[in-house]
Chain A
């Protein structure tokens, strides 16, 4: 681990299965059994039909970059906040669209500034944050 993760700030009651499946190297999201809507973020409730009945469906893990930014300076000014950063600069943050449709905020690892492009295809990386949980990052495929 390159940083210390505050698991309690990342894993919520509703997202706990998501992060547990990621620790087992599987990308799973909830598909509503009533209307078929595939959702993130993890939620008790389907925002389309309001059903609580959902199954954690396995996804391909493949995704495409919709947009990204690069942090070149650590902008979390510790004079003014007690909170703490999680990455060493430079690092990117990207919004990616899974092949199956949902979008997630993530990082594209193992990649330089000049290599990252909108539209780039991605494969998943499963990054452990504790013995039980992981988060989803990607790399260029």
Chain B
């Protein structure tokens, strides 16, 4: 697929966190209206609607299409409906020629917003492997033993995320967190504390994508999809180094190969941080630093506001808002449009999103550019 043929033309989002009494459809509607206004398009031009119903608490595309009064060519949600996978699917529909404008609407209001851990509760009943993020903890435990990393690196990620969230209107956790407060918290699932694991949250995001010829005529600056990388490591730990997330190295080859870009070219980086530890593994596997070097890459505030690396500049899942990576995409678009105020990365032109999912079997990355 050639780059810059498909663009995000509009984004809309609710605040992240809790929305007592609101239905996913109400949250989705709020985000959708904001997104079509942002793009400056009529809803009748939308010929594809994607969503995320399989999480059990999301918007059902077939029903949401009726709510917004359209009869699109395609309504669909993926079996694994997290953001990058759905956004890529929207792009595929456009590349195929089937659709011209595709809206991705993802909204949910799960029980226990801001309290319950994100992720499915039971992974292995016989042995008590409880919560999806425990699988990430298994990976980070292996990583610590392999490379001598410590909890300090996790704290660097968590504290930086909070600092960015404090600069982001609508973020979930807008109170600062000190290193002392981090280390004073008890272990939940060693080596993770509660701070290391994203909480379930309510919220809604709409992202509208269109073919290039339409994007150029839209109200707001389009953000083009430049390169796509994917891998499904479905055989899990039958593969060596599965929990070290080495399939990311293959995805990195895809996106950097297609774009001719390198990690040093990325102005704004967004990582799917369901846990803090995956940020460190992602930085290494995509080549932002060498294997085992992430603990030094993130230290001394290098990934915090004002640091060398613009990473999850809205606070990520850990502090900004957990919505399967959709808030990350809203932030990427706003950073590349230069509208992020005091957290804005100067001269941001190129952004990258990197994601991991499930029992570490789902991998995707996208590089975004402006013209």
Question: Is B134 in contact with A69, judged by CB distance below 8 angstroms?
Answer: yes
Q: In the complex, A42→B13 CA distance in Å?
A: 44
Number of contacts between A and B (CB, 8 Å)?
Answer: 109
Query: In chain A, what residue has the closest Cβ to B200?
Result: A80
Interface hit among A4-12, A25-33, A51-59: A4-12
Interface residues of B (CB under 8 A from A): 110-112, 115-117, 121-122, 124-131, 134, 137-139, 141-142, 145-146, 186-192, 235, 237-238, 243
List 15 A–B pairs whose Cβ atoms lie within 8 Å, in order of A's numbering. A69-B138, A69-B141, A69-B189, A72-B187, A81-B121, A87-B128, A93-B124, A93-B129, A93-B134, A93-B138, A103-B238, A105-B129, A118-B142, A118-B146, A119-B145
Question: Is B189 in contact with A105, judged by CB distance below 8 angstroms?
Answer: no
Residue A24 interfacial (CB < 8 Å): no
Question: Is A69 in contact with B128, judged by CB distance below 8 angstroms?
Answer: no
Question: Is B189 in contact with A71, judged by CB distance below 8 angstroms?
Answer: yes
Q: What is the distance, in angstroms, from B276's C-beta to the closest C-beta of chain A?
A: 14
Question: Is B138 in contact with A95, judged by CB distance below 8 angstroms?
Answer: yes
Question: Is B111 in contact with A72, judged by CB distance below 8 angstroms?
Answer: no
Q: What is the distance, in angstroms, from B136's C-beta to the closest C-beta of chain A?
A: 10
Q: In the complex, A105→B137 CA distance in Å?
A: 14
Q: In the complex, A137→B129 CA distance in Å?
A: 13
> Which A residues lie within 8 Å of B112 (CB)?
77, 79-80
Query: In chain B, what residue has the closest Cβ to A40?
Result: B238
Q: Which of A81, A105, A119 contacts B124 (CB 8 A)?
A: A105
What are the 4 closest A-B residue pairs judged by CB atoms, nearest first? Answer: A67-B142, A118-B145, A87-B128, A70-B190
Question: Is A69 in contact with B190, judged by CB distance below 8 angstroms?
Answer: yes
Question: Is B190 in contact with A72, judged by CB distance below 8 angstroms?
Answer: yes
Q: In the complex, A113→B110 CA distance in Å?
A: 34
Query: In chain A, what residue has the closest Cβ to B244?
Result: A67
- Known pairs A75-B131, A118-B145; A68 contacts B138 (CB<8 A): yes
Number of interface residues, chain A, beta carbon within 8 A: 39
Q: In the complex, A73→B193 CA distance in Å?
A: 10
Most A CB contacts (10 A, CB to CB) among B110, B124, B243 go to B124
Question: Is B117 in contact with A77, judged by CB distance below 8 angstroms?
Answer: yes
> Which A residues lie within 8 Å of B115 (CB)?
77
> Which A residues lie within 8 Å of B243 (CB)?
66-67, 95
Q: In the complex, A69→B193 CA distance in Å?
A: 12
Q: Which of B121, B126, B139, B142 contacts A76 (CB 8 A)?
A: B121
> Which A residues lie within 8 Å of B130 (CB)?
71, 75-76, 85
Question: Is B127 in contact with A106, judged by CB distance below 8 angstroms?
Answer: yes
Q: In the complex, A68→B138 CA distance in Å?
A: 6
Residue A47 interfacial (CB < 8 Å): yes
Residue A122 interfacial (CB < 8 Å): no
Question: Is B127 in contact with A93, judged by CB distance below 8 angstroms?
Answer: yes
Q: What is the distance, in angstroms, from B355's C-beta to the closest C-beta of chain A?
A: 22
Residue A63 interfacial (CB < 8 Å): no
Given contacts A69-B138, A76-B130, A135-B126, 4 further A-B contacts (CB under 8 A): A68-B141, A77-B116, A77-B117, A93-B138
Query: In chain B, what residue has the closest Cβ to A81?
Result: B121
> Which A residues lie within 8 Å of B121 (CB)?
76, 80-81, 83
> Which A residues lie within 8 Å of B191 (CB)?
69
Residue A126 interfacial (CB < 8 Å): no
Question: Is A67 in contact with B139, judged by CB distance below 8 angstroms?
Answer: yes
- Known pairs A10-B125, A80-B111; A67 contacts B131 (CB<8 A): no
Query: In chain A, what residue has the closest Cβ to B134?
Result: A69
> Which B residues lie within 8 Å of A9 (CB)?
125-126
> Which B residues lie within 8 Å of A106 (CB)?
127
Query: In chain A, what residue has the closest Cβ to B116?
Result: A80
- Known pairs A69-B138, A76-B121, A118-B141; A107 contacts B128 (CB<8 A): yes
> Which A residues lie within 8 Å of B128 (CB)?
71, 85-87, 91, 93, 107
